[in-house]
């Protein structure tokens, strides 16, 4: 059994989508970061960096923080959503791209452009431009392919699951997905998956998946 500590954020949804795709039993524990519940001692015992998501696997005794590490752990444990050979590293490559760029940079766009517009023109402009650049990178990668890794159809992986929830906040980023047709097709393809729809509503339903 997986105890899953999360909130309604892209990083949390990355893991809830994977858990739903794997179809394994888990219990979701809501950690309301708007009420500073991430600083509770019992949560810090699992996630010392006071960030969601985090998991505890009662089967192995393993506790983990950091969404990328959690996704790699679960994918490897269950032998799914990682490619083989060199393509496994392609999955890791794009997972790291999300962890190091697409997530952090879009998060800054949310902070300066969505939540605090007009307060820091330089920061707002910088992160909007970087967000657009990253979407172009993603659009180029998806040219002629359904998913980020693998060489054929059906190569849906944890890289896609990691990136998709951040793209689901395209409205916060002033991104028009019509300008990134490969991303839009990929986004809609993933949004149709029942496990994604279930995972998006963990730990609580905040409304339908945004549609371009």
Residue 20 contacts residue 44 (beta carbons within 8 Å): no
For 81-109, write each residue's pLDDT tens digit. 998 777 899 999 999 999 999 999 999 99
CA 197 to chain centre: 13
Residues 6+ apart with CB under 8 A from 57: 1, 2, 63, 64, 73, 77
Bridge-based pairing state of the strands 54-57 and 2-6: antiparallel
CB 212 within 8 A of CB 17: no
The domains of the chain, with CATH numbers, are 2-78 (3.40.30.10), 86-193 (1.20.1050.10)
Q: Is the pLDDT of residue 151 over 70?
A: no
Give phi and psi for 10, each to the nearest 5.
Answer: -55, -40
In this structure, what are the phi and psi dihedrals at residue 27, rounded to the nearest 5 degrees? -120, 125
Angle between helical axes of 67-78 and 158-167 (0-180°, round to 10): 140
| Global pTM value | 0.96
Residue 56, helix vs strand vs coil: strand
What pLDDT does 31 receive?
97
Q: Which two tokens stand for residue 196?
A: 């994604």
Q: What pLDDT score was predicted for residue 181?
A: 98
The SS3 assignment for 4 reads strand
pLDDT tens string 31-53: 999 999 999 999 999 999 999 99
The whole-number pLDDT of residue 84 equals: 79
């Amino acid at each position: 059994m997986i105890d899953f500590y999360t909130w309604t954020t892209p990083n949390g949804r990355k893991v809830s989508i994977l858990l739903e795709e794997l179809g394994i039993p888990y219990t979701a524990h809501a950690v309301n970061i708007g009420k500073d519940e991430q600083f509770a001692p019992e949560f810090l015992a699992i996630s010392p960096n006071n960030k969601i998501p985090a998991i505890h696997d009662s089967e192995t005794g393993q506790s983990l923080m950091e969404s990328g590490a959690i996704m790699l752990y679960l994918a490897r444990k269950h032998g799914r959503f990682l490619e083989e050979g060199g393509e496994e590293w392609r999955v890791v490559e794009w997972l790291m791209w999300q962890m190091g760029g697409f997530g952090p940079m879009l998060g800054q766009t949310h902070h300066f452009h969505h939540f605090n517009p007009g307060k820091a023109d330089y920061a707002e402009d910088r992160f909007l431009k970087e967000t657009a650049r990253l979407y172009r990178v993603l659009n180029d990668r998806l040219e002629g392919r359904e998913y980020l890794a693998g060489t054929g159809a059906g190569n849906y992986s944890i890289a896609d699951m990691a990136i998709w929830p951040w793209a689901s906040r395209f409205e916060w980023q002033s991104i028009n997905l019509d300008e990134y047709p490969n991303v839009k097709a990929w986004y809609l393809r993933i949004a149709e998956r029942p496990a994604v729809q279930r995972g998006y509503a963990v730990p609580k339903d905040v409304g339908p998946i945004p549609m371009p």
